[in-house]
Amino acid sequence: MKPLLDETHDASVRSWVESANVADTDFPIQNLPFGRFLRRDGEPDGTVGVAIGDRVLDLGGMHGTKEIFDESLRSAASFCSFGAMGLLMAVGTGRRRALRRRIHALLRQDASASDREFASRHLLAQTDVEMLTPTERPEYTDFYASIFHATNVGKLFRPDNPLLPNYKYVPIGYHGRASSLVVTGTPIRRPCGQTREGDAAPKFGPTAALDYELEVGFFVSAGNKLGETIPIGEAEEHILGICLVNDWSARDIQAWEYQPLGPFLGKSFATSLSPWVVTMEALAPFRTPAFARAEGDPAPLPYLFDESDQERGGLDLWLEVSLSTPRMRVAGIAPVVLGRSNFRDMYWTMAQMLTHHASNGCNLRAGDLLASGTVSGADKTARGCLLELTSRGKDPVTLPTGEQRKFLEDGDEIILRGYGERDGFRRIGLGSCHGTILPAFAN
Ligand code: CA
């Protein structure tokens, strides 16, 4: 795995799309994330495009034009026309990198007059399109890769022995439910389920412990065949890029149902995604060493150990979760930040999670979503869910309106953001992932 920096990372390059040059935009010309969307003109299957400033370049609408994409890029671009992100993902890193360089050339300030004229005909306002989840029919797996999250949650249940003995050997994960993956902005219905308080009889009703989880998701590009594995040294070649994930959780339902088989209905009611896939190419400037294990921790087993993954498998990416309540909105108070953590603090790298997932011969497929688990850090300000932040409701958060929250209430909105920042490079962002809680249906 090499750093692979090229002209697309040059911080001095500006775009003729003026909104891409604004200092705090998530989508400068150095980013170029892929997303799937519906045009307002009614393309039923959607199309794939690239975000640039507050616009989207409609690759699907451009692909047929010979002079824009040469032979080698035309098939990659053609997948965009029918919204097939999964196929675009599987074209391989070489051609995808070439497509990125071509799009960069089309959008830079000194693009040729014909390139600029052509691209501007396929530029839409992001407010004029309807974003979809990044891939069509993914599978969804959720990991538990933050040792800080695992320790904080473990302490609530086992104060003397918070980390289970497998944690430092196995990237812990479970198979999530893919049918309830939704794109940012989709309202989240408070789920009902079975709960039990103390020794009282179990009852069925709306959850009283609705929580968010601040996570990063990454998408499989090329998969592996059933029965084959993905060696750790090749794992990054199988990853397209990342998005924000909010793995909504009902803690009371979860606590009663999870033994012995793990999470089920307390998790499967909804998972929100940001719509833009920020590619591994765009993230190249923000790579860091893998998490530094404490002295005395076991080394990863050989199938999870790779020299270059240890050197560059981490990702310096800031993540933020904010809350806005109905009363805050009425009072004109901006969303309040509840947690700010960094993805470089994860115990396992994305490559280790992916390689572990395929290590039994399970076939991963192009477009599958693997999520990291809640991203928390060592500090109290770096907690990625309310379960940790409020110690399971014992220590409520006080908001600027004087309201308190142990868990989420109806009308609350949760907003996730993420960005990479490094001297000498342009800041790039993941966009946002937000959702508002609707009341439970009466039972
Ligand atoms: Ca999770």
Q: Ligand 1: distance of its center to the CA of 95 in Å?
A: 33
Whole-number pLDDT of residue 67: 66
Whole-number pLDDT of residue 65: 65
Eight-state DSSP code of residue 11: T
Q: How far apart are CA 313 and CA 50, in angstroms?
A: 25
Question: 149, 238, 356, 357: which is the annotated catalytic residue?
Answer: 149
Q: How far apart are CA 342 and CA 379, in angstroms?
A: 11
Whole-number pLDDT of residue 1: 46
**Radius of gyration (Cα) for the chain, nearest Å?**
22
Q: Ligand 1: distance of its center to the CA of 141 in Å?
A: 9
With H, G, I as helix, E, B as strand and everything else as coil, classify residue 50: strand
Residues 47 and 83: beta-carbon distance below 8 Å: yes
Q: Ligand 1: distance of its center to the CA of 374 in Å?
A: 6
Task: Give the model's confidence band at 102: pLDDT under 50 very low, under 70 low, under 90 confident, else very high.
Answer: very high
Q: Ligand 1: distance of its center to the CA of 406 in Å?
A: 19
Read out DSSP for 166-207?
A: TTTTS--EEE--STTEEETT--EEPPEEEE--TTSPPEEEE-
Q: What is the pLDDT of residues 114-142, one digit of tens each?
A: 999 999 999 999 999 999 999 888 899 99
In this structure, what token pair is assigned to residue 67? Answer: 């002079």
Q: What pTM, to 2 d.p., does this model score?
A: 0.96
What mean pLDDT do residues 302-314 have? Answer: 98
Whole-number pLDDT of residue 47: 87
Whole-number pLDDT of residue 4: 79
Q: Ligand 1: distance of its center to the CA of 306 in Å?
A: 26
Q: E strands along 314-391, which residues?
A: 314-315, 318-324, 336-342, 369-371
Q: What is the pLDDT of residues 369-427, one digit of tens each?
A: 999 999 999 999 999 999 999 999 999 999 999 999 999 999 999 999 999 999 999 99
Amino acid at 167: Y
Q: How far apart are CA 246 and CA 211, in angstroms?
A: 10
pLDDT at 101 exceeding the cut of 70: yes
| Average per-residue pLDDT for the chain | 93
Of residues 406, 226, 439, the one with CA closest to residue 323: 406
Q: Ligand 1: distance of its center to the CA of 83 in Å?
A: 28
122 is a catalytic site residue: no
Q: How many helices (H) and strands (E) does the chain have?
A: 12, 26
In this structure, what token pair is assigned to residue 28? Answer: 């400068």
Residues 191 and 440: beta-carbon distance below 8 Å: yes
- Residue 395 or residue 40, greater confidence: 395
Q: What is the pLDDT of residues 45-54, one digit of tens each?
A: 688 999 999 9
Q: Ligand 1: distance of its center to the CA of 144 in Å?
A: 7
In this structure, what token pair is assigned to residue 16? Answer: 């003729």
Q: Ligand 1: distance of its center to the CA of 53 in Å?
A: 30
pLDDT at 81 exceeding the cut of 70: no
Eight-state DSSP code of residue 75: H
Whole-number pLDDT of residue 82: 62
Strand 129-131 versus strand 55-58 pairing type: unpaired
Q: Ligand 1: distance of its center to the CA of 246 in Å?
A: 8
Phi, psi of 21 (to 5 degrees): -100, -5
In this structure, what token pair is assigned to residue 170? Answer: 């196995």
What mean pLDDT do residues 16-35 have? Answer: 97
Looking up tokens 């497509």, which residue turns up?
Answer: 99
Q: Ligand 1: distance of its center to the CA of 173 in Å?
A: 9
pLDDT at 3 exceeding the cut of 60: no
pLDDT at 319 exceeding the cut of 60: yes
In this structure, what token pair is assigned to residue 102? Answer: 């071509």
Q: Ligand 1: distance of its center to the CA of 88 in Å?
A: 27
